[in-house]
Amino acid sequence: MTGRLGSLDEHARRLSGTTLARLIADDPARSTDFALRAGPLYANFARQRYDRAALDALFAIAERADLAGALRRLCDGEAVNATEGRAALHPALRGDAAMTAPARSAHTQARAALAQMRGLYAHLADSAVTEIISIGIGGSDLGPRLLADALAPPDARFRVHFLSNLDGHAAQRLLARLDPQRSAAVIVSKSFGTRETLLNGAIVRAWLKDDARLYAVSAAPQRVAEFGIAPARSLPMWDWVGGRYSLWSAVGFSAALALGMEAFEALLAGAAAMDAHALSAPLRENLPVWHALTAVWNRNALGAATQAVLPYDERLRLLPAHLQQLVMESLGKSVRLDGTPVEADTVPVWWGRVGSDAQHSFFQALHQGTQVVPVDFIGVIRADHPHAANHSAQLANLLAQAEALANGKASDDPHLRHPGNRQSTLLLLDALTPAALGALVVLYEHSVYLQSVLWGINAFDQFGVELGKTLADRLLPAIEGQGAADDPVTRALLAQLRGRP
Ligand code: F6P
């Protein structure tokens, strides 16, 4: 590795002969010194494979890269999405931490949309509708789906169902168990041009047989009108919000219907509190900065090719899917802002699953596989269920797994040996409140952005998803029997498709 991250190699080499257990034994104070709190979130980085000198080097890089200034520029509405020449003003959706004209204007628009959401919520609550079908994909689905799954109370006014996949079985299965008379649909698409969403929207519209129960969220009001949804039932989106950062906007309307408006606003408040922390805390006390530096350390100094996120709370089972899009669509880049190749590896593959289920799935590889996988463990201190024995066991498992990965276990039998020295971060939420979940998601959003600054890439475009979409559009006639494919392998595959029932 060369360039500004290059000094990390030296520290990685220096530390290569030692172990986490040794680092902690030699410096027990790191158990508390490498930990910090931001509102309802506590984070402990003591089990990362760096020492104080390596951390000094990381924070020096943070200073040189002006991470504090970068956060300020993001929140102020500068054109941080340089390849598309626009701002990424998602922080303005949740609070008014910035005083610049673009940020204030964005915040005013967001508050107006929130008022519209309240109005539509009340309108629906006055109707016979009990079931909401939320139709969208990617950023127009994953965030709201996570929020609804994590936070919807059992006695919510509406039950919200998510329809994202293009595969017609998804629509078939969902609609088979719903009554159109008691259902409404929200079509969520920033572009209102995404094929999956428009096809599923058309299926649901025909099934509902009543356009008055169709709602839309989009930054393309003209396309919404052409689809036949009246402005009174449409909520706005803007080009200054990226899809994967949009759950705080009207894209979160379906989630707000699942949670109730009050809880949705509490979520926004918790998210805004994390923005305020990110903007005001000094680098050494700044949670997103620690998280981003740790990610860069693991990827670039230690060469980790993947990163796991393991929430130990059933309600957070969809968090890995949301973070996969957030992290990998943002950081899956190999050229810098100026178009030159990046000098260091960027995003690792992010993956994960809820614990304790995951322990009985892939943990064998985490403990004894040949690849070291850094882990973000996420736990919730206070449970909201009455099963105390389960909760104690759940927390014991969470702590035990992190300890086992770090310390390992010696044995004369190589099959029984746990090598240990496998790093993790522990994130603890006091309770899974809307505010705490808001803070947690914003921690990851800002960490992702800061990693992009350290790598010199744009976190806010996603040109890489376009080619496949264009080719699929081009192949559609051939699939339906008209025309041929240019690519010889695709031609052979088409012949197979046509030859089968
Ligand atoms: O997967 C690519 C993508 O453009 C995402 O960034 C976006 O969240 C998703 O498609 C859906 O786009 P839209 O909201 O415009 O339908």
pLDDT tens profile 457-494: 999 999 999 999 999 999 999 988 888 899 999 999 99
Q: What is the pLDDT of residues 263-306, one digit of tens each?
A: 999 999 999 999 999 999 999 999 999 999 999 999 999 999 99
Using H for helix, E for strand and C for coil, what is the string for 48-84?
CCCCHHHHHHHHHHHHHCCHHHHHHHHHHCCCCEHHH
Give me the pLDDT at residue 501, please.
59
Q: Please tell me the distance between residue 291's alpha carbon and the centre of ligand 1 in angstroms.
A: 26
Q: Helices in 100-240 by DSSP H: which ranges?
A: 101-125, 142-151, 168-176, 195-208, 221-227
Ligand 1 atom closest to 136 (CA): 16
223 versus 478: the higher-pLDDT residue is 223
Q: Is the beta carbon of 140 within 6 A of some atom in ligand 1?
A: yes
484 versus 165: the higher-pLDDT residue is 165
Give me the pLDDT at residue 499, please.
80
Read off the pLDDT band of 99 (50, 70, 90).
Answer: confident
Ligand 1 atom closest to 137 (CA): 11
Give me the pLDDT at residue 5, please.
78
Q: Is the beta carbon of 189 within 6 A of some atom in ligand 1?
A: yes
Q: What is the DSSP string of 192-209?
A: S--HHHHHHHHHHHHHH-
Unique residue bearing structure tokens 């957030």: 326
Read off the pLDDT band of 133 (50, 70, 90).
Answer: very high
Give SS3 for 237: coil
Give me the pLDDT at residue 126, please.
97
Give me the pLDDT at residue 481, please.
85
Q: Please tell me the distance between residue 482's alpha carbon and the centre of ligand 1 in angstroms.
A: 28
Average per-residue pLDDT in the chain?
Answer: 96
Closest to 16 in 3D by CA, of 61, 51, 47: 51
Q: What does the pLDDT average to over 119-135?
A: 98
Q: What is the pLDDT of residues 353-408, one digit of tens each?
A: 999 999 999 999 999 999 999 999 999 999 999 999 999 999 999 999 999 999 99
Give me the pLDDT at residue 1, please.
54
pLDDT surpasses 90 at 500:
no
Q: What Å distances lie between residue 74 and 100, 106, 347, 463, CA to CA?
A: 11, 13, 20, 21
Read off the pLDDT band of 7 (50, 70, 90).
Answer: confident
Read off the pLDDT band of 315 (50, 70, 90).
Answer: very high
Q: What is the DSSP letter of 416?
A: T
Q: Is the beta carbon of 143 within 6 A of some atom in ligand 1?
A: no
Q: What percent of the chain has pLDDT over 90?
A: 95
Read off the pLDDT band of 18 (50, 70, 90).
Answer: very high
Active site includes 11? no
